[in-house]
């Protein structure tokens, strides 16, 4: 999608962000927008944090005093989003990824860091677009199917070769 602007920032110093991860995040965000047939200009922010930083946000916003892998902060509701007054782009919201947790989980699940960060990005983009899995049921199944579809489109399948970086 040509009109999607993805702002990426690294707000931690504990883990070096591997080469190619920023491009992967942009590709994941774009793939979700294409799948969801969202064609208007849009903006999303993605930040890398460490476990302590994301723990603080998780406690503040979700009442869970523990680190998590990713948090989503949507700026829209029911398909209605705030707009950037300068550009006219819809502002989807913010994605916050714990790079430490992403490394841990890639090792735990036996797949590459690229797969893990791809999954976390796609998962969060779907949250920004209104999908929710918290209550389980068909909504969770639908969200998981969409995640796997996008990851497969990007070549990040579950059976991707394990790699350590």
Q: What's the CATH number for 4-153?
A: 3.40.390.30
Q: What is the pLDDT along the chain (165 residues), one digit of tens a residue?
A: 458 999 999 999 999 999 999 999 999 999 999 999 998 999 999 999 999 999 999 999 999 999 999 999 999 887 789 999 999 999 999 999 999 999 999 999 999 999 999 999 999 999 999 998 777 788 889 999 999 999 999 999 765 444 443
What local confidence, expressed as pLDDT, does residue 164 receive? 40
The CA-atom distances, in angstroms, between 86 and each of 35, 83, 158 are: 27, 9, 41
Q: How confident is the model at residue 29, as a pLDDT?
A: 98
pLDDT number for residue 2: 56
Going through 11-155 in order, the beta strands assigned E by DSSP cover: 42-49, 70-74, 76-77, 80-83, 90-98
In this prediction, residue 135 carries a pLDDT of: 72
């Amino acid at each position: 999608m040509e009109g999607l602007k993805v702002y990426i920032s690294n707000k931690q110093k504990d883990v070096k962000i591997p080469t190619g991860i920023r491009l992967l995040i942009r590709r994941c965000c774009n793939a979700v927008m294409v799948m969801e047939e969202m064609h208007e200009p849009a903006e999303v922010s993605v930040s890398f944090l460490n476990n302590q930083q994301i723990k603080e946000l998780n406690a503040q916003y979700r009442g869970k005093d523990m680190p998590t892998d990713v948090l989503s902060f949507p700026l829209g509701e029911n398909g209605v989003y705030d707009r950037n007054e300068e550009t006219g782009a819809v502002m989807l919201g913010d994605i916050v990824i714990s790079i430490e947790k992403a490394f841990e989980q890639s090792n735990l699940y036996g797949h590459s860091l690229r797969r893990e960060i791809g999954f976390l990005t796609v998962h969060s983009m779907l949250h920004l677009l209104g999908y929710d899995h918290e209550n389980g049921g068909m909504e969770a199944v639908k969200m998981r199917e969409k995640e796997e579809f996008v990851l497969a489109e990007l070549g990040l399948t579950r059976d991707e070769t394990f790699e350590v970086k």
